[in-house]
Amino acid sequence: MTDIWGIVNVTTDSFSDGGRYIDPERAVAHGLALQDAGADVLDIGGESTRPGAERVDPAVEEQRVLPVIQALAARGIVVSIDTLNASTAAAAVRAGARIVNDVSGGLADPGMLAAVAASGADYAIGHWRGPSSDMYARAEYLRPSRDVAGELRKRVAEAAGAGIAPSRIILDPGIGFAKAGSQNWDVLRGLDDIVGLGHRVLIGTSRKRFLAETLGDDGASEERRDLATAVTSALAARAGAWAVRVHNVAATRDALAIAHAWEG
Ligand code: PMM
């Protein structure tokens, strides 16, 4: 069965839920509700990576996420920390996080790989070509899924060189990161190239712009984006994804249950 990562953004400016859970108690309550709905992992983030987002000071980021991680991990929940910063990753693991989710795969902070290696946590490596502020300028590919797989392979080699065992590595093609509309579909269509690298694969399409563009409505509602996300998540599971990262856990849980029933 494909795992579901429930998203808890403790931010002021994430594209779909910014500001909703900036209060730690609300963030914890939201995390517990996602767990009730069937999340296997809760992914806690304190800095938005939406297109054009400004960077957040690591001290502010830690203030936002650490109390939430502590409260959820203390209940035995598997928690992941969504961060670009080595110091935040290390502090989050001390607070109970078991996975470091770094959408830059170690490229944003030169200290990240060593921090993860020392922490003993699992490491989700995202495909990334540069900060969200200007990532679309880097969206050039010959064969998107192959190019992404090749770049991820290099990140895995660096991570392994830094002492992170391959069994601890999770790969994510970074849907929406330095990828324009149709390139996201190219990557998903070619998911075999990434699954073929032999690691667990995580896919995050949740509520992203390319879904709304495909629906022909850039301003598509949360409900419509959640339905689109449930469909892409079920298809990703069928294509070999080990986990999907979503805002609306209940919708994707149902979609995965139906897709798994189809497979028998
Ligand atoms: N997308 C976002 C943030 N973190 N982490 C992983 N591993 N994969 C993703 O695709 C990803 C991520 C941006 O979405 P959000 O602002 O809704 O969290």
Number of neighbours of residue 2 by Cβ within 10 angstroms: 20
> What spacing in Å lies between the alpha carbon of 71 and ligand 1's midpoint?
22
Q: Is 245 a catalytic residue?
A: yes
Q: Of 198, 220, 200, 201, which is closest to residue 209 (Cα–Cα)?
A: 220
Q: How far apart are the first and last CA of the chain?
A: 11
For ligand 1, mutation pick of 3, 20, 47, 49 (most atoms within 8 Å of CB): 49
For ligand 1, mutation pick of 135, 245, 246, 249 (most atoms within 8 Å of CB): 245
* Bridge partner list, 81: 44, 100
* pLDDT of amino acid 222: 96
* Average pLDDT of the residues of the chain: 95
> What spacing in Å lies between the alpha carbon of 204 and ligand 1's midpoint?
6
Number of neighbours of residue 185 by Cβ within 10 angstroms: 15
CA-proximal residue: ligand 1, atom 9 (nearest): 204
The backbone region for 172, taken as left when phi is positive above 0, alpha when psi lies in -120 to 50, beta otherwise, is beta
Element spanning 147, H or E: helix 144-161
Residue 113 CA: distances (Å) to CA of 11, 73, 104, 144, 223: 24, 23, 11, 25, 37
**Quick one: CA torsion of 54, 55, 60, 61, rounded to 10 degrees?**
110
CA-proximal residue: ligand 1, atom 15 (nearest): 14
Q: Which atom of ligand 1 is nearest to the CA of 11?
A: 16
Residue 184 CA: distances (Å) to CA of 45, 130, 161, 247: 23, 17, 29, 19
Q: Which of 64, 155, 208, 253 is catalytic?
A: 208
> What spacing in Å lies between the alpha carbon of 176 and ligand 1's midpoint?
9
* pLDDT of amino acid 231: 98
For ligand 1, mutation pick of 82, 112, 129, 152 (most atoms within 8 Å of CB): 82
Ligand 1 pocket: which residues have CB below 6 Å? 7, 9, 14-16, 45, 48-50, 82, 101, 103, 124, 126, 172, 174-175, 202, 204, 206, 245
* pLDDT of amino acid 241: 98
pLDDT digits (tens, 9 = 90+) for 184-199: 999 999 999 999 999 9
Q: Is 208 a catalytic residue?
A: yes
Q: At what angle do helices 86-94 and 58-73 cross, to 10 degrees?
A: 20
Specify the pTM.
0.97
* pLDDT of amino acid 142: 95
* pLDDT of amino acid 53: 77
> What spacing in Å lies between the alpha carbon of 264 and ligand 1's midpoint?
30
What are the residues whose beta carbons fall under 8 Å from the beta carbon of 44, sequence distance 6 or more? 8, 10, 27, 31, 65, 68, 69, 72, 79, 80, 81, 82, 92, 97
All residue ranges of the chain with pLDDT < 70 are 15
Question: What is the distance between the alpha carbons of residues 237 and 98, in angstroms, rounded to a whole number?
Answer: 23
Q: Which atom of ligand 1 is nearest to the CA of 207?
A: 17
* pLDDT of amino acid 45: 97
